[in-house]
Structure 1
Amino acid sequence: MFLLVSSIFYSFNASQIYAKESSEKMIQSVTTDKSMYNPKDTVKISVKLTNKMKDTINNGTIEVKIKHLSKTVDAKMKQAFSLKKGQSKYLKFEWKAPTEDFKGYLIEVDAKHNKKEIDTDTVGVDVSSSWTKFPRYGYVWDFTKNVNTTERINKLKDYHINALQFYDWKYRHHKPIGDNLDVWDDWSGRPIYGDAIRNYISKAKDANMVNMAYNMAYAAVTGYEKDGVKQDWALYYSDNNDRGEGQFKFKMADETPTGITHLYFFDMSNKGWQNYIFKEMNKVFNAFDFDGWHSDTVGEWGEMQTADGKTLYVKDTYTEYLNSAKKAIGNKYLAFNPVGAQGIENANVSDVDVIYAEIWPWDRDSDGELYDSYYSLKKEIEQSRIESGGKSLVVPAYMNYDYGEKNPGNAFNTPSVILTGSTVYAAGGSRMELGDNGNMLSNEYFPAQNLYMTDELKNHTEKMYDFIVAYENLLRDGQTETKNRIEVPGYKNSKYGEPNKIWAYSKKDDDHEIIQMINLLGVTKDDWRATDGEKEKPEKVKNFEVKYYPSEEINSVWIASPDSSDGRSKQLRFTKGSDKHGNYVKFKVPSLEYWNMIYMNKTTN
């Protein structure tokens, strides 16, 4: 493999910039130049160092290793450096990605002084030719005249976001492209600048991100008839539906500068409507270099009827509509949001490229169970994987919702965000949570930036995204659930995410058996949303035993966590035995803070 090292040097006034003690990290950051790479691409790695020690470092070394799970890939890269007290330096490394597609890697970086390790860090690298296998969805919504698109894309790139939803960028829902492509007002009266959209798209493509144009699947606003939308295509509440009467509509605001306050909905199965809106979306692709359409709904509102009196449920129209939409937009990507996961089974079997569902705790799954618990999220992610033929469900679960609306300007509850993220990622799903300027969502209206991330949450989120990239081939690459027995002597454990227990369940693929272990000890409620902004931090446990009954012979045991060792895999000693439940392997887990993944190789490594 081709390797290259170089360095860039600059200096700071340490007395002005750094007030903390010399025990702080020397490796300030490890980043890559893109969010995702094609096979055989050159991966450019940047390591920022700052000497916060008491003395000058004259014989320092940075060592870089590339790992795929527990295996080292390619030769170790090294570069010597010297740093005076308070000075900073960027070291640059290049690595040529392997030819194998859809693989995750962890770049391990070690700083040494006089051959003694003084600091470590890691970063994930995704080598994939398409974002659809391992989606990491983000968003942008600020399309003002002077928005710094470079800064915002770089922040999202460092989280490895590989697709962006352009939220409320359009002119009107039924007419996304207006007459003026330089500047226009959206439905709410916000000014939208065409150059901001173009710059986002350009910068995102440079970072190998996909750009998705947001628009509703079946909605129009005031003035739709003069734009060619026929009233004969409209949806109406049926006589049996007590949720409303007359035309099906949704109130967005009491008043706006544009006079637009409502969405009006149309029959997704009506070919007239389909032809109209698909043509409008293709106008979008002709005007801007978007890569696809993120199509939205307002969920299932009960029995409706068409202008000619036919009754229907909107969710039953999803599959045919989406297949027609995908055909109409050609080689563009299609994502779709069946709000509340109502009708998600119909979206899952359609031709969409990515499956996505905005989850709300009052909606119910196909078994009639509420989506209000950690386990309910895991259950839907697994069910959607099966129904869709292996796709990874993107879940925009809005955290601390009520707290954010009542207390804007405050911080997210960190444990609640980490636990919900751990739940989704361990199950093989993904999140829609990060967007403009590194902000995190707490509301379905993306411009409502009610809450902020603390430094602790930012740091953990960075490590979480590195982790899901590095271990994507164990998290969502064909793994299936098992019913294998897991024992944690001394601690209550469960497969169902119950409070005050260790949540442990198992999966397997051709080469591995995997235990996902999430810590709910000391957590009194299993509500994933923590809408009131309250959630206890789990009680960290150390040096505890696990007894696992595998499906096949195990030859090595490894542990990895976004909570410790910068996500590096550590090998565990284990013993084998058998009892009345069958053959088992037994090992000791060093610690569990939020989430551990234990993976066992079936073949000798």
Structure 2
Amino acid sequence: MGKSALARNRLQSNLSITKDKAMYSPNDMVEIQVYYTNETGFEITDGSMEFKLHHLENQVMPTITTTFMCEENGTLQLIKELQMPDIDFTGYLLVVDIFSEGEKLIASTTIGIDVSSEWIKFPRYGYVWDFRENVNTTERIEKLKSYHINALEYYDWKYRHHKPISENLDKWDDWSGRPIYGSTIRNYIKDAKAVNMVNMAYNMVYAATNGYEEDGVKQEWALYFAEDNNRGEGHFNFKMSDSTPTGITHLFFFDMRNKEWQEYIFEQHLKVFEAFDFDGWHGDTVGDWGKMKNAAGETLYVTDTYTEFLNAAKKVIGDKYLAFNPVGAKGIENVNKSDVDVLYTEIWPWDYDSEGLQYDSYYSLKKEIEQSRKESGGKSLVVPAYMSYDYGEKNPGSFFNTAAVMLTNATVFAAGGSRMELGDNGNMLCNEYFPAQNLVMNDELQARTVKLYDFIVAYENLLRDGQTETTNRIEFLGYASSSLGQANKVWSFGKKDENYEIIHIINLLGVSRNDWRANDGVKETPTKITNFEVKYYYSNEIDSVWMASPDLNDAKATNLSFTKGKNENGNFIQFTVPSLEYWDMIFMRKSEG
């Protein structure tokens, strides 16, 4: 068997491993494919391969050993099946070690495995947008599977926003004139379901395109600018393009509280589910544009209609999933308390949260993710956060700044959130119009992103599984530090759950700005530090201290020795952190007594 695109997309070395699905149910069998090239300089006649499954700091299954032979410079390819434990919503790290004769370790690697019966607790949201004829959907799904993507947003797949299903289910043009093939959509869905990825049909919730009255949308459902809204007048409309082959250039707003509009747009999405085997609806907006009025003259803000609309939508679509995008996080508090299955919002650096904090810094991302978790009862916010936006538009075809992406990702994941950033054919988002592929990942960023996603899968139960924030004192001996994500400092913050106290350490040393977007494409690589001392003032007695990082040791947990002490600030433990490149996670097991 040939080496798959999935394997090629993982870290390049003489040992790589892949698995057959994006996530698994409890007790499922996992098919592990191993690819090993013998670069020892000699023939291996009595080699062994060990498979060890870890959950956090513990190995949770007996080691499974397979023997093999491999000639010098030869390639070994094998498949191993492992049965997962019966505990739902649990992340694991599979360690594969290869030994030559004499039990000498000659190669080692890891991969994350998510045992979750649904995607909504630990969403890893990706996207597809290319629905031309004869797209190799299998290859594209394979690439996304290598990042453990467990749900896909089908961007601009539909015929029209107010009428997503065309009369012809084989081929149609979207609003911009791009050809869409029904067979390609069906193939994506089939291939995604085969690897346990969920398929979400993207569409607007409150908008129609030109010609809407011909399709049964009534003008009396429309939204108009209020007289004291200085953004415009008349029926609110949003220009998408100056011209298109279809003649469609604008979106027109409708009142989400209007029962007839609800009945109309819900019926359209029931038709979607009849025509294609989608698993849910990803509802979109273009944000809140100030005070509006409906045809009856009643004033409103669209954000105030979110909860009622979303709850009604979820009731209608039943067991289908519902996600929703309150652009700029405007009105996100009304989404957080609704019945949506997954939280999602585009963050723009010029918007502000409810307390007046601008969304332009690393800390602002962390704060919104944590606030949304609290308001929603524990849901993990998905954040697109389009990187180096203007740089990409001015320099199409250039590379992403690796440090910028890694620091933003570390911020979002450490806070307990997730990203919408990876799409079909292994692309990364840099623009709200998903087909705009202005920037691309270089080899280093691809490799780091693979390991990052292994890490967030393996440690999902410490990242976004009921953790709450702490204010415990954290000291870094010899380095400037901050709890607010300030530039040129080590940024740290604490979390806790029933069993662990946790420290996240993000490296902003040598980074001159704390802007997550890096809009000009510029972001310094943090200054790596090694063997530095940390004092942590604990709440509960600590039994053991562990460190794990996507940047070190293939994300394996390392036990750290520690000492205890007490001073005027309270009881503390002190330990040495071996390395900080971008992001380290320290997790400390609480004493049971």
Counterpart of 2:476 in structure 1 is: 488
Question: Partners in 2 of 1:25 and 1:203 — Cα distance?
Answer: 28
Counterpart of 1:383 in structure 2 is: 371
The percentage of aligned residue pairs carrying the same residue is: 65
The alignment status of 1:583 with 2:577, answered yes or no, reads no
Indicate how the Cα distance of structure 1 residues 9 and 82 shifts in structure 2: closer, same or farther if over 3 A, else same. Answer: farther
Question: Partners in 2 of 1:252 and 1:378 — Cα distance?
Answer: 31
Question: Partners in 2 of 1:400 and 1:111 — Cα distance?
Answer: 41
Deviations 1:417-468 (CA, angstroms, capped at 9, x unpaired): 0000000000000000000101000000000111110110000000000000
TM alignment of 1:178-327, pairs within 5 A: 178-327=166-315
Counterpart of 2:20 in structure 1 is: 33
Matched letter for residue 600 of structure 1 = M
Determine helix, strand or coil for the equivalent of 2:17.
Answer: strand
Does the Cα contact within 8 Å between 2:475 and 2:534 map onto a contact in 1? yes
The alignment status of 1:415 with 2:403, answered yes or no, reads yes
Question: Partners in 2 of 1:253 and 1:479 — Cα distance?
Answer: 44
Determine helix, strand or coil for the equivalent of 2:310.
Answer: helix
Does the Cα contact within 8 Å between 1:556 and 1:604 map onto a contact in 2? no
The alignment status of 1:435 with 2:423, answered yes or no, reads yes
Does the Cα contact within 8 Å between 2:202 and 2:283 map onto a contact in 1? yes
Counterpart of 2:553 in structure 1 is: 565
Which of 568, 573, 582 pairs up with 1:594?
582
Matched letter for residue 107 of structure 1 = L
Question: Partners in 1 of 2:84 and 2:591 — Cα distance?
Answer: 25
Matched letter for residue 101 of structure 1 = D
Question: Partners in 2 of 1:487 and 1:140 — Cα distance?
Answer: 44
Q: CA deviation at 1:532?
A: 0.5
Question: Partners in 1 of 2:452 and 2:13 — Cα distance?
Answer: 19
Question: Partners in 2 of 1:359 and 1:542 — Cα distance?
Answer: 34
Question: Partners in 2 of 1:448 and 1:57 — Cα distance?
Answer: 49
Does the Cα contact within 8 Å between 1:9 and 1:88 map onto a contact in 2? no
TM alignment of 1:103-182, pairs within 5 A: 103-114=90-101, 115-182=103-170
Counterpart of 1:364 in structure 2 is: 352
Does the Cα contact within 8 Å between 2:38 and 2:71 map onto a contact in 1? yes
Question: Partners in 1 of 2:278 and 2:489 — Cα distance?
Answer: 46
Does the Cα contact within 8 Å between 1:213 and 1:290 map onto a contact in 2? yes
Question: Partners in 2 of 1:445 and 1:93 — Cα distance?
Answer: 41
Counterpart of 2:79 in structure 1 is: 92
Question: Partners in 1 of 2:592 and 2:440 — Cα distance?
Answer: 46
Q: Which moved more, 1:109-118 or 1:444-453?
A: 109-118
Q: CA deviation at 1:86?
A: 3.3
Determine helix, strand or coil for the equivalent of 1:478.
Answer: coil
Q: CA deviation at 1:604?
A: 6.4
Indicate how the Cα distance of structure 1 residues 53 and 9 shifts in structure 2: closer, same or farther if over 3 A, else same. Answer: farther
Question: Partners in 2 of 1:118 and 1:415 — Cα distance?
Answer: 31
Question: Partners in 2 of 1:69 and 1:54 — Cα distance?
Answer: 35
Which of 68, 71, 85 pairs up with 2:58?
71
Matched letter for residue 463 of structure 2 = L
Question: Partners in 1 of 2:237 and 2:39 — Cα distance?
Answer: 60
In structure 2, runs of 5+ residues without a counterpart are none
Counterpart of 2:89 in structure 1 is: 102
Counterpart of 1:463 in structure 2 is: 451
Matched letter for residue 276 of structure 2 = F
Q: CA deviation at 1:300?
A: 1.2
Q: CA deviation at 1:46?
A: 1.1
Question: Partners in 1 of 2:413 and 2:2 — Cα distance?
Answer: 38
Question: Partners in 2 of 1:73 and 1:9 — Cα distance?
Answer: 32
Matched letter for residue 184 of structure 1 = W
Question: Partners in 1 of 2:499 and 2:549 — Cα distance?
Answer: 20
Q: CA deviation at 1:589?
A: 0.3
Q: Which moved more, 1:562-571 or 1:235-244?
A: 235-244
Matched letter for residue 227 of structure 2 = D
Counterpart of 1:13 in structure 2 is: none
Question: Partners in 1 of 2:520 and 2:98 — Cα distance?
Answer: 42
Determine helix, strand or coil for the equivalent of 1:369.
Answer: coil
The alignment status of 1:58 with 2:45, answered yes or no, reads yes
Determine helix, strand or coil for the equivalent of 2:62.
Answer: strand
RMSD over equivalenced CA pairs, Å:
1.3
Matched letter for residue 18 of structure 2 = T
Question: Partners in 2 of 1:72 and 1:459 — Cα distance?
Answer: 26
Matched letter for residue 460 of structure 2 = E
Q: Which moved more, 1:72-81 or 1:223-232?
A: 72-81
Q: CA deviation at 1:9?
A: 8.9
Does the Cα contact within 8 Å between 1:334 and 1:353 map onto a contact in 2? yes
Indicate how the Cα distance of structure 1 residues 604 and 91 shifts in structure 2: closer, same or farther if over 3 A, else same. Answer: farther
Determine helix, strand or coil for the equivalent of 2:425.
Answer: helix
Matched letter for residue 79 of structure 2 = K
Q: CA deviation at 1:200?
A: 0.5
Counterpart of 1:535 in structure 2 is: 523
Determine helix, strand or coil for the equivalent of 2:487.
Answer: coil
Does the Cα contact within 8 Å between 1:516 and 1:595 map onto a contact in 2? yes
Question: Partners in 1 of 2:426 and 2:90 — Cα distance?
Answer: 26
Q: CA deviation at 1:84?
A: 2.5
Deviations 1:332-361 (CA, angstroms, capped at 9, x unpaired): 000000000000000000000000000000
Does the Cα contact within 8 Å between 2:51 and 2:64 map onto a contact in 1? yes
Counterpart of 1:424 in structure 2 is: 412
Question: Partners in 2 of 1:406 and 1:143 — Cα distance?
Answer: 26
Which of 453, 459, 465 pairs up with 1:477?
465
Q: CA deviation at 1:238?
A: 0.9
Matched letter for residue 26 of structure 2 = P
Question: Partners in 1 of 2:104 and 2:298 — Cα distance?
Answer: 76
Matched letter for residue 31 of structure 1 = T
Does the Cα contact within 8 Å between 1:428 and 1:475 map onto a contact in 2? yes
Matched letter for residue 566 of structure 1 = D
Counterpart of 2:70 in structure 1 is: 83
Q: CA deviation at 1:110?
A: 1.0
Indicate how the Cα distance of structure 1 residues 450 and 9 shifts in structure 2: closer, same or farther if over 3 A, else same. Answer: closer
Determine helix, strand or coil for the equivalent of 2:304.
Answer: helix
Matched letter for residue 472 of structure 2 = N
Question: Partners in 2 of 1:165 and 1:83 — Cα distance?
Answer: 43
Counterpart of 1:501 in structure 2 is: 489
Counterpart of 1:49 in structure 2 is: 36
Deviations 1:279-336 (CA, angstroms, capped at 9, x unpaired): 0000000000000000000011111111111111110110000000101111100000
Does the Cα contact within 8 Å between 1:204 and 1:211 map onto a contact in 2? yes
Q: Which moved more, 1:340-349 or 1:70-79?
A: 70-79
Deviations 1:218-247 (CA, angstroms, capped at 9, x unpaired): 111111101100000001111111111111
State the aligned residue count. Answer: 585
Question: Partners in 2 of 1:569 and 1:155 — Cα distance?
Answer: 27
Determine helix, strand or coil for the equivalent of 1:510.
Answer: coil
Does the Cα contact within 8 Å between 2:540 and 2:591 map onto a contact in 1? no
Q: Which moved more, 1:107-116 or 1:336-345?
A: 107-116
In structure 1, runs of 5+ residues without a counterpart are 1-7, 11-16, 18-23
Q: Which moved more, 1:50-59 or 1:165-174?
A: 50-59
Does the Cα contact within 8 Å between 1:538 and 1:594 map onto a contact in 2? yes
Counterpart of 1:14 in structure 2 is: none
Question: Partners in 1 of 2:40 and 2:138 — Cα distance?
Answer: 33
Q: CA deviation at 1:47?
A: 1.3
Q: CA deviation at 1:603?
A: 3.1
Matched letter for residue 289 of structure 1 = D
Determine helix, strand or coil for the equivalent of 2:421.
Answer: strand
Deviations 1:253-278 (CA, angstroms, capped at 9, x unpaired): 11111000111110111111000000
